[in-house]
Amino acid sequence: MISAGSPWTAEPPRTSRRGESPRLKADCVFEPTDMDHAEVRIHTMATDHVFNPEALDGSQPDPRPDEAPFEHSLRPTHLGDFIGQDRIVQDLTLAIEAAKGRGEPTDHILFSGPPGLGKTSLSRILANEMSAKLHSTTGPALERPKDLVGLLTHIELGDVLFIDEIHRIPTTVEEYLYSAMEDYSVDITLDTGPNARLITLPVKPFTLVGATTREGLLSAPFRARFGLFERLDPYPAEQLVRIIQRAARLLRMEIEESAAAYLAERSRGTPRIAGRFLRRARDLVQVSGKPALDFAAAQETLGRLGIDQNGLEEMDRRILQCLANQNGGPVSIKTIAAVVGETEDTLQDVYEPHLLRQGYLQKTARGRMLTPTGAKLVGFNLTSQGPGA
């Protein structure tokens, strides 16, 4: 039963039938007692609407938790500070200008691409440029429909709801998002048994911004509800040089161009990695008392981090070595994960994209295989033994 004055009775229900919506399943029923708990959580979020996104980032393989504050300080806040991804910046500029002209929120946007390329940064820039309040959460945090409904009820006109790792939203919750995105309303069932009733809860027009490292895992109906799809690509070295120089300026450190280029070339096209290198280099420069980060210091930094001349780190070499130990493959991702001691997700999101792009390994229906270039790197002779031999 719902007590008088409960937030759920404040709006007269637009639909009031016994829970007979085909979409609503028993586990999605909102018990008033559950909602009390939800309220408590929501209030915590509401007081800090951009609720600790750095902690969210920490849940991903990158950035490493101790580097989150550092990243935060380097995050661009305007489209004009965002280096590279020109097409995306143009799309967003247009979408923002048009939406502002109409006095409406922008279309829902999906950012996809490997970790560390700027998806979170762009989401924050979007909210900032739209002068909108940003509500941040992650797919796994929206465990039950009421987690989402709780967030939606606190959304004001034009707010941005950012959902990181959106591919990890449970299906039951995803279905509620559909109507919120499309019709700005959600149908919820209150109470169970003979008291059950379905109410339609209005949601203020908002922009959903989703970020995913695995666009392929999103269902077709979910994808179809986004108006803009933006895929971030790894950055060319010249742009990473500019990103490194900008970060160095923000950190008030001098960096020689040759050092910036050295770090950029080994950053796997990823600003987050470039930032991490720079932070390590800054420590070294500071301790050695050098006036600037020069080429030698950049070299020493990466040497200490175990990054080789191809930009590969220890884990990359272990993956390639694992394949070499199996005669070049094919080896399943599960086996590789067990051998190198890393999760399948991290291997697929963080390590493989670079190895694939560099042509060191290939994916086949039977598993991962070393390419001749990859084999050469780990000193394995593919031709004499042959893959899978």
Ligand X SMILES: Nc1ncnc2c1ncn2[C@@H]1O[C@H](COP(=O)(O)OP(=O)(O)O)[C@@H](O)[C@H]1O
**Beta-bridge partner residues of 163:** 137, 210
Q: Which of residues 119-158 bind ligand X (CB under 6 A)?
A: 119-121
DSSP bridge partners of 187:
200
Query: Which CB atom, from 82 or from 262, has the smaller least distance to ligand X?
Result: 82
- Shorter beta-carbon distance to ligand X: residue 123 or 189: 123
Largest CA distance in the chain: 80
CB of 233 to ligand X, least distance (A): 11
Instruction: Choose which of 19, 118, 311, 353 interacts with ligand X (CB under 6 A).
Output: 118
- For 336-372, b/e burial (b = at least 16 CB within 10 A) is bbebbebeeebbbbbbbbbbeebebbeeeeebbbbbe
Residue 18 or 231: the one with the smaller Cβ distance to ligand X is 231
> Which of 19, 105, 116, 387 touches ligand X (CB under 6 A)?
116
Q: Give least dist CB 375 to ligand X, A.
A: 31
Q: Which of residues 97-126 bind Mg ion (CB under 5 A)?
A: 120
Q: Show contacts with ligand X in window 220-259 (CB under 6 A).
A: 243
Q: Name which of Mg ion, ligand X, none residue 75 binds, using a CB cut-off of 5 to 8 Å depending on partner kind.
A: ligand X
Using CA atoms, how far residue 354 sits from 6, 112, 216, 361, in Å, is 53, 16, 18, 9
**Active site includes 343?**
no
Return the number of the residue (105 or 116) whose C-beta is nearest ligand X: 116
**Residue 243: contacted member of ligand X, Mg ion, none (CB under 5 to 8 Å, by partner type):** ligand X
SS3 162: strand
Site string for ligand X, 267-306 (x = CB under 6 A): ----xx--x-------------------------------
Any catalytic annotation for residue 164?
Answer: yes
| Active-site pick, 62, 75, 120, 137 | 120
Please report the DSSP string for 270-327 in residue order: -HHHHHHHHHHHHHHHHHHT-SSB-HHHHHHHHHHHT--TTS--HHHHHHHHHHHHTT
Residue 70: CB minimum distance to ligand X, A:
8
Q: Among Mg ion, ligand X, none, what binds residue 116 when CB lies within 5 to 8 Å by partner kind? A: ligand X
Q: How many CB atoms lie within 10 A of CB 73?
A: 11
CA–CA distance, 277 with 293 (Å, rounded to integer): 12
Peptide bond into 63 cis (omega under 30): yes
Binding to ligand X (CB under 6 A) within 158-197 occurs at: none
**44 given a catalytic annotation:** no
| Contact set for ligand X, span 12-51 (CB under 6 A) | none
Can you tell me which of 28, 74, 163, 297 binds ligand X, judged by CB under 6 A? 74
- In the DSSP assignment, the letter for residue 199 is E
CA pair distance 170, 193, nearest whole angstrom = 25
Distance (Å, whole) CA 360 – CA 370: 6
Q: Using CB atoms, what's the residue nearest to Mg ion?
A: 120
Write down the least CB distance from residue 71 to Mg ion, Å: 9
371 flagged as catalytic: no
**Shortest CB 177 distance to ligand X, Å:** 20
By beta-carbon proximity to ligand X, the closer residue of 331 and 347 is 347
Going along 128-287, which residue ranges are E strands?
Answer: 134-138, 160-164, 185-190, 197-202, 207-212, 228-231
335 has catalytic annotation: no
From residue 78, alpha-carbon distances to 102, 126, 128, 258 in Å are 21, 8, 7, 28
* Among 29, 99, 109, 117, contact with ligand X (rule: CB under 6 A): 117
CB of 53 to ligand X, least distance (A): 9
Q: Residues 326 to 355: which contact ligand X by CB under 6 A?
A: none
Q: Are 248 and 278 in contact (CB under 8 A)?
A: yes
For residue 37, give the amino acid letter.
H
For residue 235, the SS3 value is coil
Q: In the numeric block, which tokens belong to residue 86?
A: 């020109």
Nearer to ligand X, 121 or 189 (CB): 121
53 is a contact residue toward ligand X (CB under 6 A) = no
How many residues in the shown chain lie near ligand X by CB under 6 A?
20
In this structure, what are the phi and psi dihedrals at residue 338, rounded to the nearest 5 degrees? -65, -40
Catalytic residues: 119-120, 164, 213, 272
Contacting positions for Mg ion (CB under 5 A): 120
Contacting positions for ligand X (CB under 6 A): 57, 71, 74-76, 82-84, 115-121, 211, 243, 271-272, 275
